[in-house]
Structure 1
Amino acid sequence: MRVIIVGAGEVGSNIAASLADSHDVVVVDVDPETVEELTYSSDVLAIEGDGASLSVLRDAGIGEADMLIASTDNDETNLAVCGTAKTTGDVFTIARVRDANFLDTWQQSAGAFGVDFMVSTNLLTAQDIVRVVGLPAAVDVDPFVGGLVQMAEFEVTEESEIAGQTVEDADKFEALTFAALVRNGDVAIARGQTVIEAGDKAIVIGTPESVQAFSRTVAPVATPDEARDIVIIGGSDIGYHTAKLLEEREIGARLIERDPERGRELAESLPGTLVMEHDGTDVEFLTGEQVDRADAVIAAMGSDEKNLLVALLAKNIGVRRTVAVVEDGQYANLFETVGIDVAVNPREATAEEIVRFTQEGKIENLSLIEGRQAEVLEIEVDEGSVLTGRPIRESMAELPPAVVVGAITRGQSFVVPRGDTVIEPGDHVVLFVAADVLSTVMSAV
């Protein structure tokens, strides 16, 4: 498939890197330095120019393209790119937007803006935040098979019950599979005798109930099973959508917004949320409102620097868990290094969603792990799959060792994957796969 990506920022470059191995990828960007860097660092054709220009799109081969992805940082530009592309033929268009109002319009009118599929960055980010705060100690959570299966990544601390245990000892939940450990930024398959150390991240796959139970062995003893007292600092669009999603879960959060006019707008549109007009960096106000006793504080202000400051203040006054929005993916590790529990990167969430959509067909769903070092994939197997019709231990012998069968579903039932389990055609299988063997695995399954 020939794919044109307009915008080579963090989102576009991540998408390009994920698709380059299996597709013919062309990237268009207005920045000559970015284009030069892509030319030498990725297996893509990089073109300098304005992707909203018909002549530039023609230079990129829009006439032969199967798909165009508009991923610049400007909503209107992305819509213009898709509209321009549609004038050339029937190329499938994907637009990334921040403003969910564009998404609402597009959902109510098929094909609006010349867009075939639209991704709302702010809404995706809010969904990620809500999933994470709902699971103690989790730093990443993704649902698979319509919610029957959950993948979660947990930060192991010195207070965690499983710190110092072997993977075999820690893996005591029936409907749960230990997929991998992340240590010093490197991902490795979890082997039975590997000792789990404080500072590791544990990646598990299982039923939501088993993942929730496992989280109690990772989180400190005093941590509640589910955060109920949640404070959002910053009435940004991400803050608004986070509060709205929490309301849908019947969790009434508190939202602190400094701007009076914005505060009134939020109060009118969020009836189940207590909106407070104040400076979220005022420590005296925060302690006076007992924010220090909150289960979680979410920093969703207008800049990475403000979010870092607010999250650190919250941590300093005793908040159990802090979640911060970080736009620049390079800062995500920094946020967590200085003590922020979870850093959520909107651009990473957007790239993951677009890659997931472009892989539809054999791959039903996916999650990118640690900068694309690995992927968690949901596939529906057929009779031609190497996984089908024999015990898992036999089929896995024909696949690279950097693969784990994390879960199986049959209809609406969860099947625990064990060595003697036989996978049947039509089953949905959730796999953990290292990036360097992904193409080999996909050709076999």
Structure 2
Amino acid sequence: MRITVIGAGGVGRAIAATLSDLHKVIIIERDQRIVEELTYAYDVLAVHGDGREIKTLQQAKIEQADLVIACTDDNEVNTVICATAKLVSDAFTIARVRHRTLHETWDGHPDAFGVDHMICTNLLTSEAIFRISGLPSAREVDTFANGLVRMATFEIESESPIIERTVREIDSDNSLTFAAIFRNEELLIPRGETVIQPDDRIVVIGSTQAVENFASVISRSLRSQTDDIIIAGATKVGIQTAKLFEEHGYNPRLVEQNSDKTREVAEALPNTTVLHGDPTDMSFLNREKMGEADLMISALEHDEQNLLVTLVARQLGVDETVTVVENLEYTGLFETVGVDVTVNPREETAEEIVRFTRLNPTENIVMLEHNRAEMIEVEVAQDSILTDRKIANSITDLPDGVVIGAIARDDELVAPRGSTIIKSEDHIILFVDANILDEVTEAI
């Protein structure tokens, strides 16, 4: 596939890193310095120029493109680029936008703007925050098969009751699959005799109830639910996150330092308590009893502010913290100093875009551990090597590093076992080591 990417920010770079080994990737970027960096770092063709100009698109041979991805930092520019691309090519166009209003306009009129698919970064980020918040102690959460299947990653703390126990000993639910364990820099496919160690990051997949039950046993002190929720920052992400909680019956508290914005947001969020104050001010937080909160979500404009808010929240005794981190390089640092969960908008966006580049139709993709592995959902074709065969037999035709985590058949969850026969039109959710991803997707 020939993919033209306009804009080499965080999203553009993530796409280049993920796709350049398999596809012909052309990146258009206005900053000459970045063009030189991309040429050196990735196997891509980097073109210096303005993606809004037809001559630049022609220089990148836009007429040959199969997919055009407009992911500059300007919403309007991205829509203009897609419209221009449609004039000179038959490419499928994707526009990245930040504001939900533009996305809603397109969603109501899909032919608008010359955009085949529009991705709203703020909405994706808010949805990721909400999913994680609904499962205490999880580091990443996603759903597959229209919500029938849930995937979660848990980091196992040293005091957890499952430490030094085998997978066989803790695997008590038939509808739960232990897909993988990330241990330091190693990726393990767990077996029955695999022993759980401190700081292991375990990936499980199964029914919603099974994943919640597993969450309840990994820590004796784990709270059963999240009720008191605080959101720091009336940013686009902060407001959208509050709306999601409201839509699901919660009454969050939102803290905003700007008095004018506080009044405006209070009118827009009828079921949210909007407080005027500094989320880094210890006296203010104490006065509002923020330390009793189950969850603190920091969604301010700058990473440094978000880190400070999170550290103050931890000092006050907030049970769990989720922080938006724009700079991907900061995520490891934030988690090291005490942030429970980080959500990177650019990763969420790149993950959604990559789905359109798969050789086979892919219903959903989740990148794990910064693209060390993926969880993918695919519909099984009649001619797949998996069709009408027992899993125990067909899995031997796939390379090591693949786990069939769940099967959705006729809106029902089928627990995958060695004797299970996969049928065409089944939706299967696979854990796949990134090193063998291309080989696996071609095989199935």
TM-score range, shorter chain: over 0.9
Q: Which amino acid aligns with 2:371?
A: R
Q: What's 1:394 paired with?
A: 393
Cα deviation code 1:282-341 (max 9, x no counterpart): 111112211101110000111000000000000011000001100001101111100010
1:102 maps to 102
Identity %: 48
Q: Residues 170-219 of structure 1: CA distance to partner in whole angstroms, max 9, x if unpaired?
A: 2222101101111224433223322222212111111111011111122x
Post-superposition offset of 1:126: 0.4
Contact 1:185 1:370 in 2 (8 A): no
Q: Distance in 2 between matches of 1:27 and 1:195?
A: 45
248-257 or 384-393, which moves further after superposition? 384-393
Q: Give the distance between the partners of 2:127 and 2:66, measured in 1 at CA.
A: 30
**Superposition map of 1:335-346 within 5 A:** 335-346=334-345
Matched residue SS, 1:33: helix
Structure-1-length-normalised TM-score: 0.96
How many residue pairs were aligned?
444
Structural mapping, 1:266-277, within 5 Å: 266-277=265-276
Return the alpha-carbon distance in structure 2 between the equivalents of residues 413 and 316 of structure 1.
44
- The runs of 5 or more residues in structure 1 that have no matched partner are none
Alpha carbon RMSD of aligned pairs, Å? 1.5
- Equivalent residues in 2 for 1:39-438, closer than 5 Å: 39-218=39-218, 220-359=219-358, 362-438=361-437
Contact 1:142 1:367 in 2 (8 A): yes
Are the aligned partners of 2:65 and 2:89 in contact in 1 as well (CA < 8 Å)?
no
Counterpart of 1:87 in 2: which secondary structure? helix
User: Deviation digits for residues 407-428 of structure 1, max 9, x if unmatched?
Assistant: 0111111111111111111111
Q: Which range moves more in the overlay, 234-243 or 73-82?
A: 73-82
Q: Which moved more, 1:355-364 or 1:391-400?
A: 355-364
Give, as a single letter, the amino acid of the residue that structure 2 aligns with 1:385: S
Secondary structure in 1 matching 2:88: coil
Residue 350 to residue 76, structure 1, CA distance change in 2 (3 Å): same
The answer for the alignment partner of 1:8 in structure 2 is 8
Q: 1: CA distance between counterparts of 2:385 and 2:90?
A: 36
What secondary structure is seen at the aligned counterpart in 2 of 1:397? helix
In the alignment, the residues of structure 2 paired with residue 179 and residue 379 of structure 1 have an alpha-carbon distance, to the nearest angstrom, of 16
User: How far apart are the structure 2 equivalents of 1:8 and 1:212?
Assistant: 39
Q: TM-score, normalised by structure 2?
A: 0.97
Q: What displacement does 1:107 show?
A: 1.8
- Asked if the contact 1:187/1:370 (under 8 Å) is kept, the reply is no
Say which SS state the counterpart of residue 421 (structure 2) adopts.
coil
**Conserved 8 A contact 1:135-1:225:** no
Worse overlay, 22-31 or 432-441: 22-31
The 1:203–1:47 alpha-carbon spacing in structure 2 relative to 1, beyond 3 Å, is same
- Kindly indicate whether the alpha-carbon contact (under 8 Å) linking 2:359 and 2:441 is maintained by their aligned counterparts in 1: no
Aligned letter for 2:381? D
- In 2, the alpha carbon distance for the partners of 1:67 and 1:357 equals 9
Structure 1 residue 361 displacement after superposition? 5.0
Residues 79-115 of structure 1 show CA distances to partners (whole Å, capped at 9, x for unaligned) of: 2322322332432211111111211221233332222
Query: Contact between 2:167 and 2:192, CA under 8 Å: does it hold in 1?
Result: yes
Q: Render the CA deviation track for 1:29-60: whole Å, top value 9, x for unaligned.
A: 12223222322332222212211111111111
Distance verdict in 2 for CA 1:261–1:36, change over 3 Å? same
Hey, what's the Cα distance between the residues in 2 that align with 1:378 and 1:156?
26
Which residue identity lines up with residue 383 of structure 1 in the other structure? Q
